[in-house]
Structure 1
Amino acid sequence: MDRFHEMQVFLAVAEEEGFAAAARRLKTSPPSVTRAVAAMEQRIGTQLLARTTRSLHLTDAGQRYLEDCRRILAELEEAEEAAAGSYSIPGGHLTVTAPVLFGELYVAPVLGEYLDQFPLVSISALLVDRVVNMADEGVDVAVRIGHLHEPGQQAIKVGEVRRVVCASPAYLDENGRPQWPEQLREAKIVTSSSSQLVSEWTFVDAGRPLKIAIEPRLSVTANNAAINLARLGWGMTRVLSYQVAAAVAAGELELVLEAFEPAPLPIHVVFQQNGRIPAKVNTFVDFLSQRLGQDAALNPATKRRA
């Protein structure tokens, strides 16, 4: 067995945290995976994986070797892609990540357009409400909402979103439109547990932050459910502006307390820059950035009504 293949097997075992899971990922048998790791450890002369009947974890030597394997295999892939012309012609597999609802509303339509234009590319879209480690999970391009904290990445700002409070016009007609954030303590509130805006809502009053402790009458596990409950007149919710842009435009939801909103959150298209950037990444980043930058719901110029 060649050493590059052994490295791929070891990488799969370490990332999947098991021989059987690694075998499924590599589409081979668990005994062959076990033999490959054992042969590698024997040749190197040190233990890379500590095994028990219930668990498997990397030794210190294994952790260092894992990092080297990732680097070497990435360089090998880069060399093969360069030889195949992938730095001039978009082709191969692309992995993209974005928040769930943002991905469904804004990224997914762009994926289809891009694939129609570049037939040699295939895409996997990881839509999750967490910050994906791009290097660890093999992600080429990410959409980030909020301020960036990851080093070694390139980012293109494509817009921004607001943190808005909204309710249906019928609910506001019956219960009144709050003029001050403190009045939210008396309102029926529905929140999503997947949101970062659950227990405390921050506003700005006369240039100073104002934090309001929120005790929701109802908490659901998805943003869409909270939005639908607000749209149906049950109560008020706080979400990101892009999530309710269509409902607000249709008159199904109304924004309140806009004068007290905190600064908008930036939206970036992020990609790794380790050496030369493949054509599939360059073209997709340009394509996605242009589409998102043209969207009125993400355009700062339209963020506030007069």
Structure 2
Amino acid sequence: MDQIHLMNVFVAVGENESLAAAARHLDLSPAAVTRAIAGLEEQLGVKLLLRTTRNVRLTEAGSRYLDDVRNILTSITEANEAAAGVNSAPKGNLSVTASVLFGKNFVMPSIVSFLRNYPEVEVSAYFLDRVVNLVDEGVDVAVRIGHLPDSSLKALRVGQVRRVLCASPEYLMKNGVPQHPTDLLSHSIVAASGISPRVEWKFGGADEPTTVRMKPRLTVTSNDAAIDAVTSGLGICRLLSYQIAAELTEGRLKIVLADYEEEPWPVHVVHRESKFGSSKVRNFIDILAANLRAHPHLN
């Protein structure tokens, strides 16, 4: 059987965890899908799937093979597009992800500019306060804030941000300005994080690290809500500097304990392009990187 056909069938089965669902997705008969998987396993001499009466599961070898096959099929598609001249004019769908506030304030202007320049491209923007897996979720470009784990993804550094503590002038006038991280234990804390009864904030560099564990008065999962709370005078919150740039400029918030901040966090544009690349991704990254590097709140 054709190797690419077998790989496509295997990817469909692995992603749907069902032979029947893969058959519907590929418009093949269930018997054809079963033959393809059996032929692939025989060719490789390894069990890729564990079948039950309800569904199928990938074996450990099958899981590794699925990742490899996805990359191979993506490279084949991109090589075909390059040979066919698709790279000469950006077209098709481009998917982008970033955190909610960063996406709205920093990525959207680049998307708008990109769409104006390339009328044959559509963009799907996923602004979410979680890390989107580019490979598993099929996303082309992401903006990551923080130190990157080792991976096969390609990264381009475009700036940096600070993790800062902030409060309203009214709150600080009423409750005093903390002079040391341990002073936070006597303050009202707003936590912008996952719901947890306590938060643990680390301060300073490697020479003199300090960790303070506190019980927040308010814990929210939305940075917008945390900013509203501290701007209203509820307490002290830790946020990224770009998130409160407007409030700092307008004097509605002030930074505290700046001398105890950690090292700035890098900002990267991350993508999963192969050596062939596609013009839509390359051109968008060029626009996005230039805009972010020029932004005063990131450099």
Alignment TM class, shorter chain as reference: 0.7 to 0.9
User: How far apart in 2 are the matches of 1:195 and 1:266?
Assistant: 26
1:43 to 39, 50, 62: 39
User: How far apart in 1 are the matches of 2:292 and 2:11?
Assistant: 35
User: How far apart in 2 are the matches of 1:270 and 1:152?
Assistant: 10
**Alignment of 1:89 onto 2:89:** yes
Determine the structure 2 residue equivalent to 1:133.
Answer: 133
User: How far apart in 1 are the matches of 2:195 and 2:269?
Assistant: 21
User: How far apart in 2 are the matches of 1:211 and 1:291?
Assistant: 36
In 1, are the aligned partners of 2:78 and 2:277 still within 8 Å (CA)?
no
Determine the structure 2 residue equivalent to 1:302.
Answer: none
User: How far apart in 2 are the matches of 1:186 and 1:64?
Assistant: 51
Q: State the superposition RMSD in angstroms.
A: 2.8
In 2, are the aligned partners of 1:158 and 1:289 still within 8 Å (CA)?
yes
User: How far apart in 2 are the matches of 1:79 and 1:95?
Assistant: 19
Question: Cα gap change, 1:161/1:68 in structure 2, threshold over 3 Å: closer, same or farther?
Answer: closer
Question: Cα gap change, 1:116/1:195 in structure 2, threshold over 3 Å: closer, same or farther?
Answer: farther
Corresponding letter in the other structure for 2:228: N
Displacement, 1:238?
A: 0.6
Q: TM-score, normalised by structure 1?
A: 0.84
**Alignment of 1:259 onto 2:259:** yes
Q: C-alpha offsets along residues 251-282 of structure 1, whole Å, 9 cap, x if unaligned?
A: 22111111211111010112235222221121
Determine the structure 2 residue equivalent to 1:52.
Answer: 52
Displacement, 1:92?
A: 2.2
Aligned length: 294
User: How far apart in 2 are the matches of 1:21 and 1:187?
Assistant: 55
User: How far apart in 2 are the matches of 1:98 and 1:195?
Assistant: 21
Q: How do 1:1-306 residues align onto structure 2 when only pairs under 5 Å count?
A: 4=4, 7-18=7-18, 26=25, 32=28, 34-44=30-40, 46=42, 48-60=48-60, 62-63=62-63, 65-194=65-194, 199-204=199-204, 207-299=207-299
Q: C-alpha offsets along residues 65-90 of structure 1, whole Å, 9 cap, x if unaligned?
A: 42453244223202221133133322
User: How far apart in 2 are the matches of 1:65 and 1:37?
Assistant: 17
Q: C-alpha offsets along residues 8-62 of structure 1, whole Å, 9 cap, x if unaligned?
A: 34313312434576578x4x77xx4744421312434656432334543113553
Corresponding letter in the other structure for 2:166: C
User: How far apart in 1 are the matches of 2:71 and 2:14?
Assistant: 15
Q: C-alpha offsets along residues 118-173 of structure 1, whole Å, 9 cap, x if unaligned?
A: 11222222333333333333232221111122344432221111111111111111
> 1:208 is paired with a residue of what secondary structure?
coil
Q: TM-score, normalised by structure 2?
A: 0.86
In 1, are the aligned partners of 2:91 and 2:280 still within 8 Å (CA)?
yes
Listed as ranges, the gaps of 5+ residues in structure 1 are 300-306
User: How far apart in 2 are the matches of 1:205 and 1:80?
Assistant: 49
- Which has the higher mean CA deviation after the structures are superposed, 80-89 or 241-250? 80-89
Question: Cα gap change, 1:279/1:238 in structure 2, threshold over 3 Å: closer, same or farther?
Answer: same
Question: Cα gap change, 1:59/1:236 in structure 2, threshold over 3 Å: closer, same or farther?
Answer: same
In 1, are the aligned partners of 2:140 and 2:273 still within 8 Å (CA)?
no
In 2, are the aligned partners of 1:203 and 1:261 still within 8 Å (CA)?
yes
> 1:102 is paired with a residue of what secondary structure?
helix
In 2, are the aligned partners of 1:129 and 1:194 still within 8 Å (CA)?
no
Corresponding letter in the other structure for 2:33: V
In 2, are the aligned partners of 1:194 and 1:223 still within 8 Å (CA)?
no
In 1, are the aligned partners of 2:190 and 2:229 still within 8 Å (CA)?
yes
Question: Cα gap change, 1:165/1:16 in structure 2, threshold over 3 Å: closer, same or farther?
Answer: farther
In 2, are the aligned partners of 1:19 and 1:33 still within 8 Å (CA)?
no
In 1, are the aligned partners of 2:269 and 2:285 still within 8 Å (CA)?
yes
Listed as ranges, the gaps of 5+ residues in structure 2 are none
Question: Cα gap change, 1:168/1:8 in structure 2, threshold over 3 Å: closer, same or farther?
Answer: same
User: How far apart in 1 are the matches of 2:19 and 2:281?
Assistant: 32
Question: Cα gap change, 1:45/1:206 in structure 2, threshold over 3 Å: closer, same or farther?
Answer: closer
- Which has the higher mean CA deviation after the structures are superposed, 256-265 or 131-140? 131-140
- Which has the higher mean CA deviation after the structures are superposed, 143-152 or 68-77? 68-77
